Amino acid sequence: MKRFFSLFCLLLNLLFLASLFFAYSLIRKGFTARSTPPALEKIIATTALSLSIPQSVKEMKNPIPYSQAVLDEARDHFADHCALCHGNNGSGETPVGQNLYPKPTDLRSKEAQKKSDGEIYYIIHNGIRWTGMPAWGEAKEPDEDSWKLVHFIRHLPYLTKEEEEKMKKMNPISPQEIQEEKEEEKFLEEDNSLGDASKEQQEQ
Ligand code: HEC
């Protein structure tokens, strides 16, 4: 019994030292969002996330029937609200997405697509704590917009170039960018009219 007790104390001490070391290395490395979570942290976080989603929600079927109109609406919605971090194609390769901790998973990947419709809906509707993923839609259920987005996320692996072009037009732009676009258009118009003038001169 005495031996068991000293072994227990030794283990407790080791655990304490390991926690101290972990806390020390965390503080030394800082809380930078530039790095990527180590494998163990990722496993713990994804398991905890999966366990936090109720089984009944995981088994839910999408109450919104699939149609082209629903897909078009969700695509525009995604371009407007989600592409900032996830990119229009869902890759997560955007300046914001690549500098988050954790970085958004490629939504076209097996890892993301193997989630059930209910799980994807739950994540969109409730967000993910301690990540950049916000909660979307109204708090009341069912949140139809989030269910429509589930259809779009299923479609992401098959997104066409034409669809991506349409999405670019729906991406939010800042007032500064609007001003820059206007100036560019004006410049091009002036350039064209100069071109016409020189043509006229040549013709004379
Ligand atoms: C501010 C950045 C940001 C925005 C905006 C954002 N997300 Fe996310 N999203 C994240 C991060 C970070 C994660 C967590 C990392 C991960 O698991 O991909 C995430 C996770 C997800 C996941 C789970 C992926 C997986 O496999 O675990 C889905 C689905 C998702 N987002 C959909 C959306 C949709 C739909 C929108 C728009 C309505 C959206 N996100 C807007 C950053 C964002």
pLDDT in tens, 89-135: 999 999 999 999 999 999 999 999 999 999 999 999 999 999 999 99
Cβ neighbours of 136 (radius 10 Å): 17
Whether the CB of 74 sits within 6 Å of ligand 1: no
Rounded to whole angstroms, the Cα distance separating 184 from 198 reads: 21
Q: Which domains does the chain have, with CATH numbers?
A: 56-173 (1.10.760.10)
Read off φ and ψ for residue 89, nearest 5 degrees: -90, 0
Q: Ligand 1 atom closest to Cα of 100?
A: 12
Residues 152 and 124 sit within 8 Å (Cβ to Cβ):
no
What is the Cβ-side half-sphere exposure of residue 131, based on CA atoms within 13 angstroms? 21
User: Torsion-angle region of residue 116: left (phi > 0), alpha (psi -120 to 50) or beta?
Assistant: beta
CA 59 to chain centre: 23
Q: Ligand 1 atom closest to Cα of 81?
A: 37
Residue with CA closest to ligand 1 atom 36:
82
Nearest to 98 by CA among 116, 88, 82, 84: 84
What pLDDT shows up at residue 181? 84
The beta strand positions in 17-142, using DSSP E, are none
Q: What is the pLDDT of residues 40-95, one digit of tens each?
A: 999 999 999 999 999 999 999 999 999 999 999 999 999 999 999 999 999 999 99
Q: Which of 50, 77, 86 to mutate to test the pocket of ligand 1 (most atoms within 8 A of CB)?
A: 86
